[in-house]
Amino acid sequence: MPCRHKLRRMDLRHLRTFVAVAEQGTVSKASVSLRIAQPALSRQIGNLEAELGVRLFDRIRRRLVLTDEGRRLLAECRGIVSAVDSLGERARLLQRPDAGVLRVAATPQMIDGVFSTFLHRYAARFPDVEIKLTEAVGTEPFVKLADGELHLVINYLQVMQTESHEFNSLPLPPLEFLAVGHPSLPLESGRDIEISRLAQYPLLLLDASFGVRTTFDAACRLAGVKPRVFIESRAPHTLLSMAEAGHGVAIVPSVLPTHRYRLRIARVTYRRKPLRGLLTVLWDRRRALPPYAKEFCTFLDAHMREVFPISRPTAPKSHPKVLRRGVTNKRTIASRPRTSA
């Protein structure tokens, strides 16, 4: 068997020559394919056989026929040559401003409501950028951002509790807080509900690891409201399902899609002003962002301004037109579209 130090010095050109000769069947054809003189090509095959300590070809009537050992080694040599070619291509792509890997963390609601459509738009502009997407809940994504494991974190500004100035940020369009419940639930007569009115309902809330929960709890304290929490969950759609089934009022951000459910939706207000959360894109200022990461931020901001808010308050129902006392216009009721969630 050949020594290990000899294998480490093995010339990649010899492996390419071996693969080419095995595929072409003759030295002459492989010589043309590789643009190498036949004597030099034959020497490379001989050197490789000497390094490996096995005969790779039998010479039969001017043809090179793979030996059993050569046939077994061919697949591995193909794999090595292919891997090296892929590595070289990858390195060339990394040198381009519009190609590479982008590691992004975003909240589950952002992924569901925005990224499900936005990523197609970004991929059409940057087809050679591979996005690695993970969920951002709690403070763990910021640790990964500082350690260089992520390029961007998209989260609520309130989650970032640090005096460090290591992060740069880009504000995104703000989200609103929505109170959603069963269609029959009398939340309010209009499209808004004051946060103090929520004290009368069992509430379905995201757990404390979510930034929107932190903001909602702070608003409750300011309003002097002690919420009656029926369930806390890390799954936003669990809250929507429970609300649709009539188990209480779910408090969710407007970035979360609600169209799959039959719900009554009202915007949460504090002192008649909408309760809002601040979405931001964060990155480590100590590390240079690749150009396609900067474009990602620009594209995302523009996309969100087009589609926000993802979920909106339910439009108030207008009263049916009265024809005479006790009689309503049945055609008007029948043709009225269902209230969309």
Tokens 């009721």 found at: 333
pLDDT tens digits, residue range 10-63? 678 888 888 888 888 778 888 887 888 888 888 888 888 888 888 888 887 767
Residue-range domain boundaries for the chain: 4-94, 99-173+279-307, 176-277
Which of 3.40.50.10710, 3.40.190.290, 3.90.1010.10, 3.40.50.720 would CATH assign to domain 176-277?
3.40.190.290
Lowest-pLDDT choice from 7-11, 74-78, 289-293: 7-11
- Beta-carbon contacts of 265 under 8 Å, excluding residues fewer than 6 positions away, are 178, 179, 180, 258, 311, 312, 313, 314, 341
Q: What is the dihedral of CA 142, 143, 146, 147, to 10 degrees?
A: -140
Q: Give residue 136's pLDDT.
A: 83
Q: Do 83 and 110 touch, CB atoms closer than 8 A? A: no
pLDDT tens digits, residue range 174-219? 999 999 999 887 765 578 999 999 999 999 999 988 888 989 999 9
pLDDT at 306 over 90: yes
Q: pLDDT category, 87, cuts 50, 70, 90?
A: confident
Q: What angle, 0 to 180 degrees and rounded to 10, lies between the N-to-C axes of helices 12-24 and 38-52?
A: 110
Domain 4-94 annotated CATH 3.50.30.10: no
Buried/exposed 2-32: b ≥16 CB within 10 Å, e otherwise: eeeeeeeeeeeebbbbbbbbbebeebeebbe
The answer to whether 4-94 and 99-173+279-307 have equal CATH topology is no
CA nearest to 142, candidates 175, 102, 103, 105: 105
User: What's the mean pLDDT when you consider all of the chain?
Assistant: 82
Q: Do 173 and 126 touch, CB atoms closer than 8 A? A: no
- Per CATH, the number for 99-173+279-307 is 3.40.190.10
- Token duo for residue 24: 């072409």
pLDDT at 141 over 50: yes
Q: pLDDT category, 92, cuts 50, 70, 90?
A: low
Q: Give residue 187's pLDDT.
A: 64
% the chain with pLDDT above 90: 43
- Token duo for residue 36: 């190498």
Q: Give residue 334's pLDDT.
A: 37
